[in-house]
């Protein structure tokens, strides 16, 4: 069977290629984020987009795609949700954009977030997930008077120096699984900050318990995604989040949930609701604004007390601007629709199980891990429970070939195995059917290329 991608992609995306060459003249690397460049999987060049509507997106060459990238997660309500868009436009027309002072819409938005999330009693709005995580980590140090932060391999908590460590790390540099070494993930991160971090293997009960017995009184906070969504999709083993909660409480350390991706996506109350584990602090972005740029840090009143009395400065000119708060308020209203998450999780599960079945029917070893509205199809030779398993077990090249065959058939998601497919709350059965039909054809290509059926 012929290889579709190599022949079809250049023909289908001529204007994207031309725009990429033009962009490189004035934009470093040709894109506004390193995550959109060829070195991050978008080969031979990224698609340039024209517009998105609902669950579909169209590139500058006129190709339409069922969109499971969704801006890397923010498009929880699809593209250009009319309710949220109208609320933002109306707020700008009636109020303005940014005052540098509080206003009532900010209260309204915060009240709705607090009402949605169990255990969150107060919230401050910010501008990016990285910013919110950096604030949460520093606030934990300020609150506890301690300096050590515990984080886990394979999890990405943004680009700030304090947490930009041990993400997709070279295991030769990281050392043994029971006590990994912190490894800075980018140039310019001061090596001295490694002494403020303890890195562990995720889903390893024994190493975490041992650390807390030995050094619990030195630890300011443990930060984790409640489900790892920055190395594909890796779910917590039963009891693991509960262990993190109980051990941090015993040690007087804080537990921080990075819900930049899981927040408002897996349930209206995020991981708090879905897993029933309540951390001290939680960071949000992506889904909280229905596609608009907004982030937040939330927590109990006790966890937020230093912000509340001004002892800790959480500042930002654009914090809680009108666009953000209008988007959050409208999004929270839409997410309150009865049965919405149950319906869309079931839709996502139909897609996920369908993809797994098609792969297996073609003799391809692949399986799905997910939470309904976000999942990954692992091309793997065994179970993936942490970053080290992902390195050892996955066949990344096969996944990328699958992406290539899907994108020329009108289905878009991230080309790398260690990302995810996002299902919005507006995808429908037609989207799922179109995707499964494309998968049936693309898996036949993979089976032929990789020596299976």
Name the pairing type of β-strands 254-258 and 219-224.
parallel
CB 410 within 8 A of CB 426: no
CB proximity list for 61: less than 8 A, separation 6 or greater: 12, 13, 14, 15, 16
Cα–Cα dist 453/450, whole Å: 9
Size (the chain), residues:
453
Long-range contacts of 36-45 (CB under 8 A, 24+ apart): 40/416, 41/400, 41/414, 41/415, 41/416, 41/419, 42/415, 43/415, 44/9, 44/17, 45/13, 45/16, 45/17, 45/20
CB proximity list for 123: less than 8 A, separation 6 or greater: 110, 113, 114, 296, 297, 298
Cα–Cα dist 437/424, whole Å: 19
Other CB atoms within 10 Å distance of the CB of residue 437: 14
Q: Catalytic positions, please? A: 156, 258, 286
Cα–Cα dist 264/262, whole Å: 6
Range list of β-strands (E), 2-106: 49-53, 56-59, 64-67
Q: Which of 127, 124, 123, 131 is nearest to 161 (CA)?
A: 131
């Amino acid at each position: 069977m012929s290889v579709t991608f190599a022949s079809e992609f250049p023909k289908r995306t001529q204007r994207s290629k031309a725009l990429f060459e033009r962009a490189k003249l004035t934009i470093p690397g040709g894109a506004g984020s390193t995550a959109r460049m060829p070195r991050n999987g978008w080969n031979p060049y990224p698609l340039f987009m024209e517009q998105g509507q609902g669950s579909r997106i169209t590139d500058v060459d006129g190709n339409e795609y069922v969109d499971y990238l969704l801006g890397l997660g923010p498009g929880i309500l699809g593209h250009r949700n009319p309710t949220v868009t109208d609320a933002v436009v109306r707020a700008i027309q009636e109020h303005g954009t940014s005052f540098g002072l509080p206003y009532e819409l900010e209260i309204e938005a915060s009240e709705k977030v607090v009402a949605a999330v169990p255990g969150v009693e107060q919230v401050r709005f910010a501008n990016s997930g990285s910013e919110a995580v950096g604030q949460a980590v520093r606030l934990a140090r300020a609150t506890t008077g301690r300096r050590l932060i515990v984080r886990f391999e394979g999890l990405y908590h943004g680009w700030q120096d304090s947490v930009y460590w041990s993400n997709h790390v070279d295991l030769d540099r990281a050392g043994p699984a029971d006590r990994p070494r912190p490894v800075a993930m980018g140039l310019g991160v001061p090596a001295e900050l490694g002494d403020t971090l303890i890195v562990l293997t995720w889903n390893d009960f024994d190493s975490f318990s041992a650390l807390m017995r030995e050094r619990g009184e030195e630890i300011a906070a443990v930060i984790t995604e409640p489900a790892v969504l920055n190395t594909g999709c890796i779910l917590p083993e039963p009891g693991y989040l509960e262990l993190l909660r109980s051990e941090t409480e015993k040690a007087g350390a804080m537990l921080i949930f990075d819900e930049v991706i899981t927040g408002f996506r897996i349930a209206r109350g995020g991981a708090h609701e879905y897993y029933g584990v309540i951390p001290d602090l939680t960071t949000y972005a992506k889904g909280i604004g229905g596609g608009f740029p907004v982030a937040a840090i939330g927590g109990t009143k006790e966890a937020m007390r230093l912000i509340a009395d001004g002892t800790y400065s959480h500042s930002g000119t654009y914090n809680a601007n009108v666009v953000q708060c209008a988007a959050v308020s409208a999004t929270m209203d839409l997410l309150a629709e009865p049965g919405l998450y149950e319906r869309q999780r079931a839709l996502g599960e139909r897609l996920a199980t369908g993809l797994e079945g098609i792969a297996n029917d073609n003799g391809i070893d692949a399986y799905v891990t997910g939470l309904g509205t976000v999942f990954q199809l692992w091309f793997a030779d065994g179970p993936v429970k942490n970053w080290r398993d992902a390195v050892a077990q996955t066949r990344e090249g096969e996944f990328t070939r699958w992406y290539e065959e899907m994108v020329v058939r009108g289905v878009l998601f991230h080309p790398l195995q260690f990302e995810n497919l996002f299902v919005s709350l507006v995808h429908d059965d037609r989207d799922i059917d179109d995707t499964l039909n494309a998968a049936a054809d693309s898996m036949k290509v993979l089976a032929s290329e990789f020596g299976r059926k």
